[in-house]
Amino acid sequence: MTLALVTGPSRGIGRATALALAERGVNLVLMGRQSAELDETGELCAQKVQVSLEHCDLADRTALGAACSHVLASAVPDVIISNAAVIERRSVELTSLDAWDHQLAVNLRAPFQIARAFLPALRARKSGRIIHVGSISSTLGSANAAAYAASKWGLTGFTKSLAEELAGSGVIALVVLPGSVDTEMLEGSGFAPRMSADDVARTLVHYALDAPLAHNGAVIEMFGV
């Protein structure tokens, strides 16, 4: 049976994606900081499939490395969806170095670290899909979100470079760029929601389970309606 690892599944796009995968009968590893929301997502998904929770602060490289090793000790995911992200809305001159580093750690370094941890096993098996959740901000830029936008631009560049390395391996990497999604993260942005978390989840599930391998390196933009 297919196994998917999803980061940031406590709410928003992550929760919607976990639930959509569970509806398709996909077993899940849900990775995120320990919280009542994460437990709730796990309980909802466990009504359909097997679920394991991997508690981890994705900004902590040591903890994340240990979490990936723990997952690998029991199974190799068929699908990895790096969805977790954080944003701190401040102008450039008011963005502290710590805030900058934290956003890049969660939004960019963590997807890199996760991909690097699982790649040897995926390559050995000659199959697997690594899907990153980026943002339209990586093509447009947003005022008061420079660190977030920079991390998402970097995530697209990382994904496309990774895809080149994976060509012909049976493993693919791609990135989905949602626009204004009706989630807590959109609050305070000044943008009106133009899509739901379920819209993004359905897209992620399609590329995780149904889309052909020819989508390796794809950048899927979602501008909304």
Structural domains of the chain, ranges and CATH numbers in brackets: 3-222 (3.40.50.720)
pLDDT for residue 221 is more than 90: yes
Rounded mean pLDDT, 178-190: 71
Spatial separation of the C-alpha atoms in residues 84 and 67, rounded to whole Å = 15
Known catalytic residue: 207?
A: no
Given the residues 148, 166, 199, 222, the one annotated as active site: 148
Q: Using one digit for the tens of pLDDT, what is the confidence trace for 119-148?
A: 999 999 999 999 999 998 888 878 899 999
pLDDT for residue 106 is more than 70: yes
Q: What is the mean pLDDT of the chain?
A: 94
221: left (phi over 0), alpha (psi -120 to 50) or beta: beta
pLDDT for residue 183 is more than 80: no
> What is residue 210's DSSP assignment?
I
Distances (CA, A) of 74 to 1, 52, 71, 191: 14, 11, 6, 43
How would residue 104 be classed by pLDDT, with cut points 50, 70 and 90? very high
Q: What's residue 192's pLDDT?
A: 73
Q: What's residue 182's pLDDT?
A: 64
Contact predicate 106/86, CB 8 Å: yes
How would residue 189 be classed by pLDDT, with cut points 50, 70 and 90? low
What's the predicted TM-score (pTM) here?
A: 0.95
